Amino acid sequence: MDERSRHDRTIRLLGARLEALAAASERGPRGEQRLDREIVAAVAATRHAVALALITTEEADAVWASVARRHPLARWCRLGPRLAA
């Protein structure tokens, strides 16, 4: 897999994971609390992707912001990948 393909795949996977978490957290009671570990794992995955230079910080922020706009009830998503900082 070349560098561009790896980059695009990372962006798609991160977006899909955040979308799934945001949708799940909006659906049920205690959504955020119920998914706390998965949310922290998504933050860690985002940080690792940036640290490995698979995506830039700006791209990571854009993916998180995009999901936050589509899922306004998922408050955790508005905090972005610096959530667990």
> Does 8 fall in a domain?
yes
> Does 83 fall in a domain?
no
Assess whether pLDDT exceeds 70 at residue 83. no
Which parts of 1-85 are beta strand (E)?
none
> Does 85 fall in a domain?
no
- Mean pLDDT of the region 44-55: 94
Boundaries of domain holding 32: 3-78
Q: What confidence tier does 35 reach under pLDDT thresholds 50, 70, 90?
A: confident
> Does 43 fall in a domain?
yes
* pLDDT for 75: 87
The pTM (predicted TM-score) of the whole model is 0.88
> Does 84 fall in a domain?
no
Q: What confidence tier does 31 reach under pLDDT thresholds 50, 70, 90?
A: low
Pair 32, 75: CB distance under 8 Å? yes
Q: What confidence tier does 30 reach under pLDDT thresholds 50, 70, 90?
A: low
Rg of the chain (C-alpha set): 13
Number of domains in the chain: 1
